[in-house]
Amino acid sequence: MTLNVVIMGATGAVGQEMLRTVEARQFPCASLKLLASERSVGRKFPFRGKLHIVEKLTPESFKGVDLVLASAGASVSREFAPHAVAAGAVIVDNTSAFRMEPDVPLVVPEVNADALNKHKGIIANPNCSTAQMVVVLAPIHRAAGIKRLVISTYQSVSGTGQKAIDECLRQTRELLSGARSVECRVYPHQIAFNVLPHIDAFLENGYTKEEMKMVSETRKILGDDSISITATTARVPVLRGHSESVNVETRKKISAAEARQLLRSAPGVVVVDDPALFDYPTAIYCEGRDETYVGRIREDISNPNGLEMWIVSDNLRKGAALNAVQIAEELLRRGLVGKRK
C-alpha cells in the first residue's frame, strides 16, 4: 500500500529532516507534497531523484491526502490540523499543540504503540527531550516501577530551529575573530561559549514550559501519573544532539548491571558504557543516527533504589522526524491510515 503524503512545515530544520527520513526509510509514498508559508513558496528540494516545489499551505491543501507529517509550529497546527482531518487524512504533529489533549495519543512507538489504536485523526509527537528519554526509561519502568525522576538536560540549538543554528555559528565566528560582544537575535543571551539555564518561557511556578513538558509528557507516555518528576533544561552551544543526566528512583531495587542488561535488549536503545575506555555517548557521536544512546549507568550512592544515567540522541531524528515517521510506519502496519473519507 502506498500513501499520498504531505510534509507541513517542509522548509524548517525538522521538516527537512522529515524529508530525508522518509526517503532514507523508503516510506511508501504514492505522492509527496511539500507545504510551507508563503515566503517559502517556489523553493525546490530533491526527493527520490526529482525536485519537489514547495507549495503554500492553505485549508484546501489536504484534498486526496492520506498522511500529514507536520512541524510548522503549534499555532499553525491548531489552525490546519482540523482541515487535514476533515479531508480524511491522519496528521502526525510534531508541535506542542495537541500533546496533552486527552483524546490525542502521544506516542513513542517503542514504548506505547498501542495508543495509536484510539486515534481520531491526530497523533502527537512528543517533545524532543522527552522522546529520547522515555525510550530508555520504559524498560526500567516495566521491570522495577519508576517512583521519581530528577532530570537535567543539555539541549542543542537545533531544538530552537535553523535561526538558532545560524546564530550560534555567527556568534562563534565573530568571537573567534576578536569581537568583544555579539548580537543576540534568537536567545536573550549569548549562546556561543555559554550555557543558558532555561528553555522556553518561564511559568508561575518558576519552571519553564520545556521542563513542564517533560513532566506531563513522560507521565502520559508511560501511563503513570504517580511518577514524581522534576527537571532543569538548559541550552548549550552544540549544533545537534540533546544530552540528559537522569536520576531514576525505582520502586523495586534494580542494580546497574541489571539495568545495563535490560537496556541492551530494548528496542531503539544502544548501551555505550565502558568507563575504563572512557566510552560513553556524546552529542557528536549520535549525530545523524537513529538510536538513543545510554551510558554512565551506575547506582546512586545516596539512594538504595537509585540509578544514574546519561542519555543522548539526535534531537532532529529520534526527537522529531524519525519518531514521526516511525509512527507513520506503525499506522500503516496496523491499517490505521489510508482510509480517506
The catalytic residue positions are 128, 242
H-only helix segments in the chain? 13-24, 74-86, 109-112, 128-144, 162-176, 209-222, 256-264, 283-286, 322-333
Sheet containing strand 3-8, edge to edge, reads 55-56, 29-36, 3-8, 67-70, 90-93, 122-124
Pairing of strands 242-250, 306-313: antiparallel
Residue closest to 64 by CA, chosen among 32, 87, 36, 93 = 87
Q: By three-state DSSP, how is residue 218 classified?
A: helix
Pairing of strands 242-250, 269-271: unpaired
Quick one: DSSP state of residue 18?
H
C-alpha 52 chain-centroid distance: 25
DSSP per-residue codes, 75-135: HHHHHHHHHHHHTT-EEEE-SSSSTT-TTS-B--HHHHGGGGGG-SSEEEPPPHHHHHHHH
User: CA torsion angle for 78, 159, 148, 224 (degrees, to 10)?
Assistant: 30
